[in-house]
């Protein structure tokens, strides 16, 4: 399974494969043409409440990861469809956050590759 992560502000590349924006909000200052997306999957993005609570604070990332995984449980069909696509070819999760280590695309990539832990599991 080839799941990659890329900031929306980086240029698209042919080896990105299927490009999907995983943010709830459109990246500021990026045109649709420049983004070269195949999909904008708002359903798999963290809820507005969770996004605001996290505020991209690295010290809140573990709590964000746990809560976001819980939200993803409610979107298993969309997660399964994206996982199928990743098994068939490269999928690049596009995100706008400046921090490449602490964002929703990192958690979503983990969920695609490893699945979601059972309810109540970390």
What is the domain partition of the chain in residue ranges?
Answer: 3-114
54-57: long-range pairs with CB below 8 Å, 24+: 56/97, 56/98, 56/99, 56/102, 56/103
CA distances from 85 to 1, 38, 50, 108, 112 (A): 9, 12, 27, 14, 10
Q: Is the pLDDT of residue 72 over 50?
A: yes
104 pLDDT higher than 50: yes
Please compute the mean of the pLDDT values over residues 50-68 and round it to a whole number: 96
Which pLDDT does position 42 carry in this prediction?
92
Are the CB atoms for 21 and 38 separated by under 8 Å?
A: no
């Amino acid at each position: 399974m080839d799941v990659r992560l890329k900031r929306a502000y980086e240029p698209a590349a042919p080896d990105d494969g299927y490009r999907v924006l995983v943010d709830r909000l459109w990246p500021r200052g990026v045109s649709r043409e420049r983004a070269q997306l195949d999909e904008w999957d708002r359903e798999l993005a963290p809820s507005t409440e969770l996004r605001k609570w996290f505020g991209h604070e690295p010290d809140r990332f573990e709590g964000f990861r746990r809560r976001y995984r819980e939200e993803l449980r409610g979107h298993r069909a969309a997660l399964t469809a994206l996982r199928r696509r990743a098994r068939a070819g490269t999928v690049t999760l596009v995100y706008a956050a400046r921090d490449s280590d602490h964002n929703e695309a990192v958690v979503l990539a983990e969920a695609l590759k490893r699945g979601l832990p059972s309810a109540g599991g970390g």
